[in-house]
Structure 1
């Protein structure tokens, strides 16, 4: 059985590491069926800190193909990926194409496979922000509709698919838990302090990269004004995407001196930051969940989130880019006890369940 895994962005490397490890364990324990995995890296995140460090740190098998497609518009990037991935699939003829999340790499991989009648499995299916202005939302919906198996991390994701009529379509849905929870459990003891961080604990961890914030001068200004206020009394550590740095420069926004800007960090460094911070402020999807895994309150500077169960359980708080709402929410959550005892994302065995489902489907 041959699987081609399509990745291109940092969160996908982490998710793929979980399933790749589960494939290795399956091959070691099941003599009657061998799974061959080939990894295709589209190149969407391409520099050392945004890509290669993840493969090195997490022992992910090196990509068999690196397509080096980046720094293009959405249409040009997706079209180029579709063309190049199709070439790989025609050459390799896999049984499955495995895609993750909601990036341009995700939809390009799924679409290329579907047009060649190769089965598609979508990990992290069924998520919805209900904001069709988000490119990620478009990618999610289209990928779910053309996949053969949908691996859903939460009951909310299953319910979203049902509400869209997926129960009437010949697509298998599997409630399997979240691969990111597997990763958090497995890699927590490998946490590594970033070399430029001197604080031991108690700082605020922030990441800002989503296009809806970085491309809007008013929103980006308000977010950094809020961080400036927070940084007066508590250190803010901000690993920053190169694209966000360019936007700050273009808009003439100068971060406060008590906000420590880091280059993008590896997964083990991010885990260390999560373990040792007091709070997370982000517009990332994945970091909202990771804050929960490590029992840290999260302020999400977006108008909506795919991870609505975090909002309902009052461990994550939506503020949008409103400066005063961000600061008020930060001050409020410092004074209250937050319960992180609920189980929202499975038992930490999602990688194994995904592999066994694929093998069972094939047989």
Structure 2
């Protein structure tokens, strides 16, 4: 087994002091850019790796952030993870991840694992609401929520204006002349839940990605003099490609049976659902956007390459990730101030699937 390259060996090979190498590792100190570049080049050539165990024993910190996130069955998880990694690296931190979601796992299910991983604090992207007494709020490390669920003023959180942007997009569709607007990816409706009870539950929503986007859809219809028709609000347990395709297929079955008219627009809870909807409609010869306009939410990179390319709400995930990382690092580095909540801005990225005016 080869021996670990030491910081002393790096310093000797680069012709600098051990302190200079340490400053390069920690992105501190004043030195010429050429010197910093030379030290990094020597590290790469020698195969130097930071000894995390030694650093932790010496400083009590690992310079690693933890990310608890849903599994990568839909593109947003990978997209957010990439942006968090980039934001962390810009601050001199690395990222370790732990995923949940398999077999209906929640973020709380990975809490025991977080204590086995060398992270100084954790960002949790929640798929479901956490109870006010959830153990996620009482960890020994700093916690940041990257979520539209309630953090009860207990931890810093980062969110996005899902309700406002969905409401704005539906309003734009109405003003563009769309008469029959459906929503795909709504909260799951129980078999014995009446139409009025289901709508009341949506109206009462205060937090949660799917809830707030569905509420924005309903409120936009009402405020523009339209009736909310639950027959075109299509619910599912998971907002992914598969469920999007299944929702669209079932919608077309109802249309073929004469129960509904084909919607002229479908607003989707996220881009993954939109991709599934596009696939199912196109396979049945429905033209997009000529017959049905499709709008997603998230602006994942795949939206530029779908066929047709996807019109989608852009929540500026880079800003979302950067805010979460900054909040967490500030807590790790000693900030003891009040709990903070930050919301990104959103705008509409117009592509082929819905040709709306800006």
Band of TM-score, shorter chain: 0.3 to 0.5
TM-score by length of structure 2 reads 0.37
